[in-house]
Amino acid sequence: MTEILTVLGNVLIVAGALVFATAALGVARFRDAYMRVSAVGTAGGLGIVFVVTGALLLQPSVSNVVKVVLIITIHLITSAVGTMAIARAAYLTGTPLERYAFDELAADSPTSGRDPEPARKPAAD
């Protein structure tokens, strides 16, 4: 049984590392700040869950289960709030969107730092 937990724990840790590596690639390749924030937020949420769960399987105990549940819960809450705050700050400071993106908030938010001219929704195919 311990061999199975060891293998599964190592697989989860490697999967978490791959999520982080994919997010790093996304940060390097994505063109605007909003896509980059999305990549980092997703990696933070999913990658940490994989790595911490894998570590739990390598060192199983009741106290570690409590620690892992607390770590995952607190991290998911703070990661989501942090990602949203960074994206909102980028939007409110007028960080430009990629040219194919449509800004649905521009018409509702005159203080967003965007052009006062209303945006047009792209034609559907």
State which H helix or E strand residue 65 sits in.
helix 62-92
Q: Does residue 120 lie within any of the structural domains?
A: no
* Residue 101 CA neighbour count, 13 Å, CB half: 15
Q: What is the pTM of this model?
A: 0.71
Q: Does residue 118 lie within any of the structural domains?
A: no
Tokens of 23: 């997010």
Average pLDDT over residues 85-110: 75
Q: Does residue 121 lie within any of the structural domains?
A: no
Higher pLDDT, 15 or 76: 15
Average pLDDT over residues 20-36: 88
pLDDT of residue 103: 65
pLDDT in tens, 34-60: 888 888 888 888 999 999 999 999 999
pLDDT in tens, 3-21: 999 999 999 999 999 999 9
Q: How many domains does the chain have?
A: 1
Q: Does residue 65 lie within any of the structural domains?
A: yes
pLDDT of residue 116: 46
Q: Does residue 81 lie within any of the structural domains?
A: yes
Look up residue 107 and give its amino acid. A
Q: Does residue 36 lie within any of the structural domains?
A: yes
Mean pLDDT for the chain overall: 84
Domain hosting residue 64, numbered range: 2-92
Q: Does residue 102 lie within any of the structural domains?
A: no
Task: Yes or no: say if 76 and 52 are a contact pair by the CB < 8 Å rule.
Answer: no
Residues of the chain above pLDDT 70, percent: 78
Q: Does residue 125 lie within any of the structural domains?
A: no
